[in-house]
Amino acid sequence: MKILVVEDDKSLRQIIRETLDAEGMVVETAPTYAKAMLKLEDYSYDCVLLDIMLPDGSGMDLLDYMKSIGKRENVIIISAKDSTDDKVLGLDKGADDYLAKPFHIAELVARVRSVVRRKDHGGEMAVTFGNIALRPDKSAVTVAGTPLDLNRKELDILAYFLTRPNHLVNKQTLAEAVWGDHIDQVDNFDFLYAQMKNLRKKMKDACADVEIRAVYGIGYKMTKI
């Protein structure tokens, strides 16, 4: 699950990032309206946590901008402004939820999982394809009911493909989705190839009836065997 935190308060931004990272999410941050625009233009996210009072613009305007460029990310507004008018305006502009500051960080985590599950998975906790089932809330995977032991990145890769079955995924897009901001620090895709090799072997050894097939020169596709 990939999250963008648009928040100008450095300490709150860091707390949110560390908490969501500990929950197994890939987290990127943007402290300003301008940086958030650049992130949203270049990348896709499962959820955007959006402060509406930014130093160089309004989060409400950013919602309009996201709509204008066809972005469909889940959005949770996090704001010190707790007026009914602001809540109504934000929801009317396309936000999925509104959380007033100060808030308990555990509630924020729960709301992130809730909006992503509600919109992307039809409210179901388990994401399935073939005989593979993933429970994002528990970071647990089973193959035909038997637990499959994966490391964090293998789990993130599998989760990405389970929500995009039969879709060709470019390796650059996959790397950006799973490694986030850190992708800019690497020179090649050896790290991705290593994780993918291990994941595909584990799926095969567990007798999964789906595979992640390499498409030469482009990327990968998850299909039924």
10-residue mean pLDDT series, the chain (225 residues): 93 94 88 94 90 93 91 90 83 90 91 78 70 85 95 90 89 83 69 93 96 92 94
Q: What is the pLDDT of residue 127?
A: 81
Strand runs labelled E in the chain: 2-6, 26-30, 47-50, 53-54, 57-58, 74-79, 97-100, 127-129, 132-135, 140-143, 146-147, 168-170, 210-215, 219-224
Going by the DSSP 8-state scheme, the letter that residue 26 receives in this structure is: E
How far is it, in rounded angstroms, from Cα 158 to Cα 161?
5
Going by the DSSP 8-state scheme, the letter that residue 199 receives in this structure is: H
Q: What is the pLDDT of residue 185?
A: 60
Q: What is the pLDDT of residue 72?
A: 84
How far is it, in rounded angstroms, from Cα 5 to Cα 25?
12
How far is it, in rounded angstroms, from Cα 155 to Cα 125?
16
**Chain center to CA of 25:** 7
Structure pTM?
A: 0.66
Rg (CA), the chain: 18
Q: What is the pLDDT of residue 119?
A: 63
- Its sign, for the CA torsion 13, 139, 44, 66, is negative
Q: What is the pLDDT of residue 78?
A: 93
Q: What is the pLDDT of residue 82?
A: 75
Q: What is the pLDDT of residue 184?
A: 63
In b/e form, how buried is each residue of 152-163, taking b as 16+ CB within 10 angstroms?
ebbbbbbbbbbb
Q: What is the pLDDT of residue 187?
A: 66
- The verdict on whether omega for the bond into residue 165 sits within 30 degrees of 0, i.e. cis, is no
Q: What is the pLDDT of residue 177?
A: 80
